[in-house]
Amino acid sequence: MPSARKEKLQSPIEYLKGVGPMRAQLLKSELGISSFGDLLEFYPFRYEDKSNLKKVKELVDGENVLLSGTITDYEEIGVGRKKRLVAYFQDETGTLELVWFRSITWIKKILINAQEVQVYGKASLFNRRFSITHPELEKIGEETKTNSVPHFPVYPSTEKLKAKNLSGKNFAKLSATLLPQITPFDLPENLPDAIIKELNLLPRITALQQIHFPENEKMLHDAIERIKFEELFVDQMNICKLKLNKSKVPGHYFEKVGECFNDFYKNDLPFDLTDDQKQVLKEIRQDTKTGYQMNRLLQGDVGSGKTIVALLATLLAIDNNYQACLLAPTEILAQQHYASIKKMLYAQDIKVALLTGSTKTAERNLLLDELQKGELDILIGTHAILEPRVIFNNLGLCIIDEQHRFGVAQRAKMWKKSKTPPHILVMTATPIPRTLAMTTYGDLEVSIIKKLPPGRKPIRTVHRMDHKRSEVMHFIKSEVEKGHQVYIVYPLIEESEKLDYENLEQGYELVSTYFPGHTYNVAMVHGRQNLAQREHNMQGFVKGEAQILVATTVIEVGVDVPNASVMIIESAERFGLSQLHQLRGRVGRGAAASYCILMTGQKVSKVGKERIQTMVNHSSGFEISQKDLELRGPGDMHGTKQSGVLQYKLANIVEDVHLMSLARESALKILALDPQLEQAEHTMLKKFLSISKGSTNWLEIS
Ligand code: ADP
Ligand code: MG
């Protein structure tokens, strides 16, 4: 019996009355709807309140309205890209223009024999006349007249479907046909009773009925909440289960804190650790002596001092006769880690090596050989470390710096580098909004370095227009006179690479005229230089021989020159927020007051302006990342593309922070009581989790 029921939701959409083979094919290719179940989960994107029809006279600028009236005439105006279709609409109270720039041919077809129409869209006032651009337009036919329910569902549709008479509104006919056929047997409750009661959620089937045809505002709201919760909850169950299982993966047992660690700590530590740094080390120590694998995320703003924590953790591994490795996202960063770690370990008998894409073959072969024999203690490098030919003797700890540059899959690769998976510490300076952390990194334990090392002064950030450039140059000069150093960064992206390089070169020449070669040294670093050249120039700046570094974003991550006090970012509007924050983090590392100057032209888009303003107003990476998430929406955030999270149908990680927290709490509560979901009240949930993929295939990650 249950299998027959299950088939109901899996029935091909073609067999739904009113669909048929031709529409079925379109539904599949256009919207991915191939079964009854798919249609059930294809939700309206808005609801039309027909009882709330407006009149032209009542229009308010900028408001979405639904109007009913007649088309008196229409015409095409203009040519080429300016071509538009204008229709003249009228009701008893006045007239209005409807304008289309796209789909003109298609709209004309509707207009030809339409007189009475309904239009929906945003009214805007121009020269005391109202118009609506790209309104939704519908002929008034029998069904439009009759369906005067207060919340009539409108579905997302496409041109091709509209041509087959499946407009956003006609879609409602399909759901109206489908819904009465679905019984609680087809759609059993999947959430445990306890959660439904506690959170006062609608039953599953009610939620699905109500989201398509809501009785009232309140039911609609509850239906949406229930469905969002379910989406988030399924994800959180999977993530928390994974986390639970991970904490049970046998790991290397770091028995002791030994000589390497203690010697270094007593004699060579260049400064006192901050309390936060000490706390993180304690957490790492705890994790590595449980006999289980550590999976920890270290979040700390730019410049918070994660590197030293990483180094101390590697010493812990070495003390316990294990090898350790440190992965960095770029060659320059890997080189810098290598140089600074070698320097710090000068007094220790520890063998450190660097492996990147440009390591010479002979050197590489030697290095790989030593690594496999266990003669190397610490391997620092880039993605090159992930390659299968890189074989460790006994890898005990893997640290991944700037994790947001790596995918989750790459983290997984490191697991396989040792029979017993190594302890994993991932570090990120791109703080993650809470909701994202719960998904992208939800399977990790989290450590945070909140406070920056003592003595840091806040970085003053200002926005300057290009025409103030000479003032900016004067300012740079005064800083250079004080013995400080300055970064000037130019954007560089593939799509406009040629132009970007021209700007960079011009910028370099301009700076060189202000800072002539006989007195000053201006260095330039970019990706077109060969590595030796780039390295040479970079080193010149690191050593303080060059006062000014003109560069592309190759310096974005990790570079550490405490004497630099000014960061100038050219065409700042072209950078993303997290990139701007990373760049700004290159200064403010020494004792001097530091500045970040964001240069732009006059014309900056609205979002661009908002990004700049965010940088000027905020210094905390956490605030900036939250703003970033709000401005860009979740689809675009770091790390989400790779891991494929956040593909929710309804839930939105910007707006639904509260629901996400509830979902996580509920998931943890259930798993604490019944980790394998063996209790009777969890049977349906277990079944549901096994068939629903959720937004991510989390199991692949481990
Ligand atoms: P990030 O967290 O961005 O990787 P780094 O590890 O590069 O930051 O550290 C930034 C700077 O702060 C470095 O110059 C480092 O030597 C210094 N630093 C780190 N910890 C301390 C501390 N406890 N006291 C003083 N300076 C510190
Ligand atoms: Mg760093």
Q: In this structure, are 379 and 486 located in the same domain? A: no
Ligand 1 neighbourhood includes 429 CB (under 6 angstroms): yes
Query: Which ligand is the nearest neighbour of the Cα of 591?
Result: 1
Range of the domain at 413: 259-288+305-428
Domain boundary among 569, 595, 618: 618
Does the CA dihedral 63-31-228-10 come out positive or negative? Answer: positive
What's the angle, vertex CA 508, arms to CA 502 and CA 509, rounded to 5? 90
Looking at the CA of residue 307, tell me the nearest atom of ligand 1. Answer: 6
Answer yes or no: are the C-beta atoms of 318 and 399 closer than 8 Å.
Answer: no
Residue that is last in its domain, among 558, 583, 618? 618
* Pair 281, 404 in one domain: yes
Contact assessment for residue 358 and residue 379, using Cβ atoms and an 8 Å cutoff: no
Q: Do 139 and 165 meet the contact criterion of CB atoms below 8 Å apart?
A: no
- Give a three-class secondary structure readout of 517-532: CCCCCEEEECCCCCHH
The CA distances from residue 581 to 370, 557, 596, in Å, are 39, 10, 10
Residue 700 is predicted with a pLDDT of 37
> Which of 275, 304, 400 gets mutated to test ligand 1 (max ligand atoms within 8 A of its CB)?
304
pLDDT at 167 over 50: yes
In a domain, 536, yes or no: yes
Quote the tokens at residue 634: 């979740």
Which run of H or of E encompasses 355?
A: strand 352-355
Tell me, yes or no, whether 24 lies in a domain.
no
Report CA-CA distances (Å) from 122 to 95, 132, 225, 228.
Answer: 15, 6, 27, 28
Q: Same domain for 466 and 422?
A: no
Structure tokens at 272: 């006192």
Ligand 1 contacts CB of residue 308 (under 6 A) = yes
Token pair for residue 65? 């309205």
Q: What is the CA(340)–ligand 1 centre distance, in A?
A: 11
Q: 344 C-alpha to center of ligand 2: Å?
A: 15
Stated as kind and residue range, the H or E segment containing 142 is helix 142-146
Residue corresponding to tokens 């924050």: 581
* Cα–Cα dist 402/387, whole Å: 19
Cα(304) to ligand 1 centroid in Å equals 6
CB of residue 544 inside a 6 A radius of ligand 1: no
Q: Which atom of ligand 1 is nearest to the CA of 300?
A: 2
Asked whether the beta carbons of 220 and 44 are under 8 A apart, the reply is no
Q: How far is the CA of 271 from the centre of ligand 1 (A)?
A: 9
Gap from CA of 290 to ligand 1 centroid (Å): 29
Most confidently modeled range among 132-141, 192-201, 394-403, 426-435:
192-201
The predicted model gives 613-639 an average pLDDT of: 76
Grade residue 696 by pLDDT with cuts at 50, 70 and 90. Answer: very low
Q: How far apart are CA 624 and CA 646, in angstroms?
A: 20
The closest alpha carbon to 546, from 592, 472, 487, 478, belongs to: 487
Across the chain, mean pLDDT equals 87
The alpha-carbon radius of gyration of the chain (Å, integer) is 31
> How far is residue 638's CA from residue 93's CA, in Å, rounded to a whole number?
51
309 lines ligand 1 (CB under 6 A): no
Does the C-beta of 589 come closer than 6 Å to ligand 1?
yes
Q: Whose CA is nearest to atom 18 of ligand 1?
A: 305
Whether 238 is in the pocket of ligand 1, judged by its Cβ within 6 Å, is no
Question: From the CA of 564, which ligand is nearest?
Answer: 1
Answer yes or no: are the C-beta atoms of 265 and 309 closer than 8 Å: no
Ligand 1 pocket member 584 (CB < 6 A): no
Please write the tens of the pLDDT for every residue from 213-251. 999 989 999 999 999 999 999 988 988 888 787 777 899
Give the domain CATH number at 96.
Answer: 2.40.50.140
Judgement on whether residues 405 and 268 belong to the same structural domain of the protein: yes
Secondary structure string (H, E, C) spanning 194-257: HHHHHHCCCCHHHHHHHHHCCCCHHHHHHHHHHHHHHHHHHHHHHHHHHHHHHCCCECCCCCCC
Q: Are both 408 and 270 inside the same structural domain? A: yes
Residues 502 and 610 reside in one and the same domain: yes
DSSP 8-state symbol, 344: H
Residues 311 and 378 occupy one common structural domain: yes
The alpha carbon of 429 and the centre of ligand 1 are apart by a number of angstroms equal to 12
Q: How many CB atoms lie within 10 A of CB 506?
A: 11
Q: How far apart are CA 566 and CA 588, in angstroms?
A: 8
Q: Is 542 in the pocket of ligand 1 (CB under 6 A)?
A: no
Residue 390 covered by a domain: yes
398 and 471 assigned to the same domain: no
Chosen domain end from 601, 618, 635: 618
Question: For residue range 583-604, what is the model confidence (pLDDT) as tens digits?
Answer: 998 898 887 899 999 999 998 9
Nearest-CA residue for atom 23 of ligand 1: 273
Of 202, 207, 415, 407, which is closest to residue 295 (Cα–Cα)? 415
Q: Is 517 exposed, middle or buried (0-12, 13-18, 19+ CB in 10 A)?
A: exposed
Same domain for 397 and 493? no
In 80-202, where does DSSP find H-type helix? 104-112, 142-146, 159-163, 171-178, 193-199
Is 647 domain-assigned? Answer: no
Percent of the chain with pLDDT over 90: 53
Residue 242 makes CB contacts below 8 A (sequence gap 6+) with 443, 698, 699, 701, 702
- Structure confidence at residue 690 as a pLDDT band (50, 70, 90): confident
**Ligand 2 center to 312 CA (angstroms):** 14
User: Domain for residue 451, yes or no?
Assistant: no
**61: three-class secondary structure by DSSP:** coil
Residue 140 lies in a domain: yes
Reply yes or no on whether the pLDDT at 404 is more than 70: no
Residue 300 located in a structural domain: no
The pLDDT assigned to 243 comes to 79
Task: List the structure tokens of 155.
Answer: 């579905």
- Nearest CA among 535, 536, 488, 534 for reference residue 514: 488
Q: Is the CB of 86 under 6 A from ligand 1?
A: no
Judge whether 662 lies within some domain: no
CB atoms within 10 A of CB 605: 9
Dig out the tokens for 544 from the structure: 């303080």
Residue, of 608 and 693, whose pLDDT is higher? 608
453 in ligand 1 pocket by Cβ < 6 Å? yes
Kindly report the CATH number assigned to the domain that includes residue 329. Answer: 3.40.50.300
Instruction: Give the number of the ligand closest to the Cα of residue 589.
Output: 1
Say if residue 409 is in the same domain as residue 474: no
pLDDT at 663 over 60: yes
For residue 143, pLDDT over 60 is answered with no
Looking at residue 563, its pLDDT comes to 93
Distance 401 CA to ligand 2 centre (A): 7
User: Which residue has 């370990």 as its token pair?
Assistant: 345
State the total domains in the chain: 3
Where does the pLDDT of residue 25 fall: very low under 50, low under 70, confident under 90, or very high at 90 and above?
very high
Q: Is the CB of 273 under 6 A from ligand 1?
A: yes
For residue 303, the CA-to-ligand 1 centroid distance in Å is 5
423 and 464 share one domain:
no
Confidence of residue 531 (pLDDT cuts 50, 70, 90): confident
- Cβ proximity of 229 and 659 under 8 Å: yes
Beta strands 395-400 and 423-428, pairing class? parallel
| pLDDT number for residue 8 | 87
Output the pTM of the full model.
Answer: 0.66
Residue 389, CB-side half-sphere exposure with 13 Å CA sphere? 9
Nearest CA to ligand 1 atom 1: 303
Q: Does pLDDT of 107 surpass 60? A: yes
Same domain, 379 and 515: no
**What pLDDT is attached to residue 144?**
53
